[in-house]
């Protein structure tokens, strides 16, 4: 198994970290507030370490589990330390009422981050079309993702399979804005009868049983 780094200490960080740790991966959790990172690491359990913010991440696969408004600042703080990594950002750039996004075609969060990282860093978008509890507990869940190049997406797909998730490759960076809007569909389903135990899948919407 491999080592992954998760930057962030919220619900998405613990959901990803928990699946990875249970599958035998080593997990490094990092946050600006070390106490929050330590609390997240304790919640995840297993082979988990707490890293230092803006220090070179231990994992070749780096998950950016922070709010979209702070994502660019985090990437700038790490700078060249992200060279050669696959960075998976999980943000949703919702507008104030959660019925639209603040980005525009060609300018997704993922695309903006890809312009700010070293040339050999791959930036992908994933996990934004599934709620935290569903991701944490559901076996065989579809994970829609996009960004980077074919090699970067293949590396991420391998990780997904290792934690009992099904990779659903939507293509390169050009598809990432569509994934941002897909999350609006997810929110609409949740608010209009499907509830919060739902995720988007390649076959439509899936409700956790």
Average pLDDT over residues 4-28: 98
Average pLDDT over residues 122-142: 96
pLDDT at position 208 over 90: no
Q: Residue 176 — pLDDT band, cuts 50, 70, 90?
A: very high
Query: Tokens for 122?
Result: 């791959």
Average pLDDT over residues 25-32: 98
* Residue predicted with more confidence, 150 or 205: 150
pLDDT at position 204 over 80: no
Gap between the Cα atoms of 116 and 120, Å rounded: 11
Q: What is the pLDDT of residue 202?
A: 82
Give the DSSP letter of residue 186: H
Gap between the Cα atoms of 51 and 62, Å rounded: 12
Q: Residue 207 — pLDDT band, cuts 50, 70, 90?
A: low
pLDDT at position 112 over 70: yes
Average pLDDT over residues 144-157: 98
Gap between the Cα atoms of 134 and 130, Å rounded: 7
pLDDT at position 143 over 60: yes
Gap between the Cα atoms of 18 and 43, Å rounded: 8
**Residue 88 three-state SS:** strand
Average pLDDT over residues 107-124: 98
Residue range 46-99, pLDDT digits in tens? 999 999 999 999 999 999 999 999 999 999 999 999 999 999 999 999 999 999
Q: What is the pLDDT of residue 9?
A: 98
pLDDT at position 24 over 70: yes
Average pLDDT over residues 159-187: 98
pLDDT at position 206 over 70: no
Average pLDDT of the chain is 95
Domains and CATH numbers, the chain: 3-207 (3.40.50.720)
Q: What percent of the chain has pLDDT over 70?
A: 97
Assess contact for 173 and 188: CB atoms under 8 A.
no
């Amino acid at each position: 198994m491999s080592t992954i780094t998760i930057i962030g200490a919220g619900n998405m960080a613990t959901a990803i970290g928990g699946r990875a740790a249970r599958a035998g991966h080593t997990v490094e959790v990092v946050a600006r507030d070390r106490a929050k990172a330590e609390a997240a690491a304790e919640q995840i359990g297993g082979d988990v370490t707490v890293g230092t913010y803006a220090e070179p991440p231990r994992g070749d696969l780096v998950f950016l589990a922070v709010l979209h408004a702070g994502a660019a600042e985090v990437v700038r703080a790490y700078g060249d330390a992200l060279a050669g990594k696959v960075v998976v950002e999980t943000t949703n750039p919702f507008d104030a009422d959660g019925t639209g996004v603040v980005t525009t075609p060609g300018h997704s969060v993922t695309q903006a981050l890809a312009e700010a990282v070293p040339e050999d860093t791959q930036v992908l978008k994933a996990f934004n079309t599934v709620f935290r509890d569903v991701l944490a507990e559901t076996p065989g869940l579809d994970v829609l993702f996009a960004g980077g190049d074919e090699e970067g997406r293949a590396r991420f797909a391998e990780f997904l399979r290792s934690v009992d998730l099904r990779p659903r490759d939507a293509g390169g960076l050009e598809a990432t804005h569509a994934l941002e809007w897909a999350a609006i569909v997810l929110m609409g389903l949740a608010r209009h009868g499907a509830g919060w135990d739902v995720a988007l899948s390649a076959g439509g919407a899936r409700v956790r049983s």
